[in-house]
Structure 1
């Protein structure tokens, strides 16, 4: 078990990058199957970052969250700053929450829903603040946030047990 924990910091950046790409492909695949205009955002990267906070130190995770935010912004938005700001802030929030809450399966699921909501609303807030979108509050909740939460709830329900085992989260 100790040997596995020693190589986690070395493989996590590659996993984060791979998950960033998978997030985009899953989101686009679901979007292309739907006939109504909705914005499904898959957040596997955020999910694995959340579980990685149980094994890796805060400085390491904040650094890689910023790097992934920079890559995410340049790859998907062509506007640097949105995820570059949000990912490190969410990682800090994750450490704050899990220092105070016992990480049971239920609290992990509920926490992840809160983190996804914060990420989605933070993106919309920053995009609106910098006049990069002209969406209404009704569109945000019905066409972006609701589908994103449904998709990510399904994903966390599928992956919570395997990820708890992979990252050795006890409860």
Structure 2
């Protein structure tokens, strides 16, 4: 297969797999993730968007982020718009910081924590405005944001090196 064709289709295909894994993990472990006092939300799509933003061109990543934001909204949320806006913002912020920060595990991890906090907090305020949640902000921080960050940082630690190798291969294509 032509390397240009591979570089065009592989990033969205990999992101699509992570998009599906988000839902699969949430469904398989729903008792564990949502059944206790804490809410843990797997965000594999955000992990991959952050990783791709460090290694792939911004314009291509913005298009991919918009498309997957639309897909995420229509498939998981039902309200179009929030992820369509959040995913490109994540890509844009991450890409801007890559100009001054060299991608290493700590920098990428910190950027992921910042981006995920932005996503979760924005979602909280969005759903508060729509009156879809009655959770106050302190409860959100303790019961949702903290556990979600912890779960996703653990996932990030396990996925960083394989994803880094994959991103470096995609970058060279």
TM interval, short-chain normalised = 0.7 to 0.9
RMSD between aligned alpha carbons?
Answer: 2.1
From the superposition, tell whether residues 37 and 76 of structure 1 become closer, same or farther in structure 2 (CA, over 3 Å): farther
Q: Which residue of 2 aligns with 1:139?
A: 139
Normalised to the residue count of structure 1, the TM-score between the two structures is 0.88
Unaligned runs of 5+ in 2: none
Equivalent positions of 1:146-161 (< 5 A) are 146-161=146-161
Taking the TM superposition and a 5 Å limit, the aligned residue runs for 1:1-171 are: 7-33=6-32, 35-168=35-168
TM-score (normalizing by structure 2): 0.87
Q: CA deviation at 1:101?
A: 0.9
What stretches of structure 1 of length at least 5 have no aligned partner? Answer: none
Q: Contact conserved, 1:30 with 1:40, CA < 8 A, in 2?
A: no
Q: Is the 8 A contact 1:31 1:40 kept in 2?
A: no
Deviations 1:3-54 (A, max 9, x none): 7676232122122222111112212333313541432211111111122223
Q: What secondary structure does 2:133 align onto?
A: coil
Q: Which has the higher contact order (CA 8 A, sep 6+)?
A: 2
